[in-house]
């Protein structure tokens, strides 16, 4: 099964201030600008094996960090910038329309950096449902509890993205219920595209401009998405984090995705369990309860950790960065810059360790 990784990192200067990536996004086709200036995205090509994915990801990051050193910049693996001055959006028609429709809530998205894992489409209905049931595993990469200096949740990114940015358009940004068929999923996309178009036109956006910037396939920013590229099912629940942690999660999620080829998928109860013959996922309401724990309490929730262990994760092997950063109700701008520098150096050491091993 082919799989790939997309991960977003903040770019900072030598003082820890957020910075434009500049030439960092020019040297490789696998490094791209994001919709806000101080963020870039690293994208691996599709890889058939985990070992190929690992080596490709590490090599890309190592080259990128060497280039960053030349430019006196650093990459930072935090789900939010903790606290910052104003973050500017790169001009685009797509962002302009989102701002018109979402209003001031669109600003929350400017503070979010995440990890996206792609898996080749196979048993698509089962893939969609199982990935939805694994949404609580986002806690394994929680990497910032702060939004604009205030402590808001164990995963500030997941909280502000789902609860605030898409507060008035929940189906556009929050987890969807299980589906019986792919057709059911696609019909939901069509309905949401129509509703977004109506909302945009009510805000004075021309229909032609909407159709030029959006389609039913890219109208949602949900934790699980169907993508035409490769084509894949995309799991985009967790924060950005250290590469070693992302790779661990990619391998464990990938193992479950591989099991779908020969295991029965059953929806039952509230506990969940993965065996060689069967993948039992909880009723959706139970999953939502686990998701709330993942966002607010993180891995510290014993009930959540037990669920993830039953689903095949070695929870004790993860070290969410939130646990190291947390402890204050407020982080100042100066403190945020220092923490960003600290974790920029941590990212460099992590890549060095992966390169040596």
Q: What is the pLDDT of residues 84-126, one digit of tens each?
A: 999 999 999 999 999 999 999 999 999 999 999 999 999 999 9
Burial 267-302 (b: 16+ CB within 10 A, else e): beeeebbbeeeebbbbeeebbbbbbebbbbbbbbbe
Per-residue pLDDT, 126: 97
CB burial class (10 A; 0-12, 13-18, 19+) of residue 79?
A: buried
Tokens of 62: 């190592």
**3-356: which CATH number, 1.10.10.10, 3.40.50.620, 3.30.590.20, 3.50.50.60?**
3.30.590.20
Per-residue pLDDT, 228: 85
Tokens of 212: 């030029």
Per-residue pLDDT, 133: 98
Per-residue pLDDT, 230: 79
Q: How far apart are CA 212 and CA 205, in angstroms?
A: 12
Q: Cα separations (Å) of 152 from 35, 88, 241, 330?
A: 24, 22, 18, 10
Tokens of 72: 């006196």
Alpha-carbon torsion (174, 177, 181, 184), positive or negative = negative
Bridge-based pairing state of the strands 146-147 and 115-120: unpaired
**Site of tokens 């940004």:** 173
- Residue (of 82, 284, 97, 125) closest to 193 by Cα position: 97
Per-residue pLDDT, 247: 98
Question: Among the residues of the chain, which ranges form H helices?
Answer: 50-70, 93-102, 124-133, 156-159, 170-173, 182-202, 207-213, 243-259, 284-296, 302-310, 321-325, 333-356
pTM of the model as a whole: 0.97
Q: Other C-beta atoms within 10 Å of 318: how many?
A: 22
CB burial class (10 A; 0-12, 13-18, 19+) of residue 139?
A: buried
* Segments in the chain below pLDDT 50: none
Q: Helix or strand or coil: residue 9? A: strand
CB–CB of 222/174 below 8 Å? yes
């Amino acid at each position: 099964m082919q799989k790939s990784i997309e991960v977003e990192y903040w770019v900072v200067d030598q003082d820890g201030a957020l910075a434009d990536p500049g030439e960092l996004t020019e040297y490789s086709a696998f490094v791209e600008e994001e919709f806000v200036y101080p963020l870039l995205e690293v994208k691996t090509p599709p890889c058939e094996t985990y070992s190929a994915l690992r080596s490709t990801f590490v090599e890309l990051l190592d080259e990128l960090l060497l280039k960053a050193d030349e430019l006196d910049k650093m990459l930072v693996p935090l789900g939010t910038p903790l606290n910052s001055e104003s973050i500017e959006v790169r001009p685009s028609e797509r962002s302009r329309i989102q701002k018109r429709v979402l209003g001031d809530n669109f600003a929350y998205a400017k503070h979010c950096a995440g990890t996206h894992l792609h898996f080749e489409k196979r048993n698509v209905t089962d893939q969609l449902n199982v990935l939805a049931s694994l949404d609580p595993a986002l806690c394994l990469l929680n990497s910032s509890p702060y939004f604009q200096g205030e402590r808001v949740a164990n995963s500030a990114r997941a909280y502000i993205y789902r609860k605030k940015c898409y507060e008035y358009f929940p189906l556009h940004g929050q987890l969807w219920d299980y589906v019986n068929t792919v057709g059911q999923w696609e019909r939901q996309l069509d309905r949401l595209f129509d509703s977004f178009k109506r909302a945009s036109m009510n805000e004075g956006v021309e229909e032609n401009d909407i159709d030029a910037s959006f389609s039913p396939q890219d109208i949602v920013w949900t934790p699980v998405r169907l993508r035409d590229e490769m084509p894949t099912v995309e799991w985009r629940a967790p924060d950005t984090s250290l590469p070693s942690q992302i790779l661990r999660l990619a391998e464990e999620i990938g193992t479950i995705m591989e099991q779908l080829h020969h295991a029965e998928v059953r929806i039952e109860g509230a506990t969940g369990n993965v065996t060689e013959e069967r993948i039992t996922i909880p009723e959706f309401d139970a999953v939502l309860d686990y998701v709330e724990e993942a966002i607010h309490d993180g891995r510290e929730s014993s009930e959540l950790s037990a669920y993830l262990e039953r689903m095949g994760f070695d929870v004790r092997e993860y070290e969410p960065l939130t646990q190291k950063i947390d402890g204050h109700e407020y982080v100042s701008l100066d403190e945020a810059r220092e923490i960003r520098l600290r974790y920029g150096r941590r990212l460099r050491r992590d890549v060095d360790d992966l390169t040596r091993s």
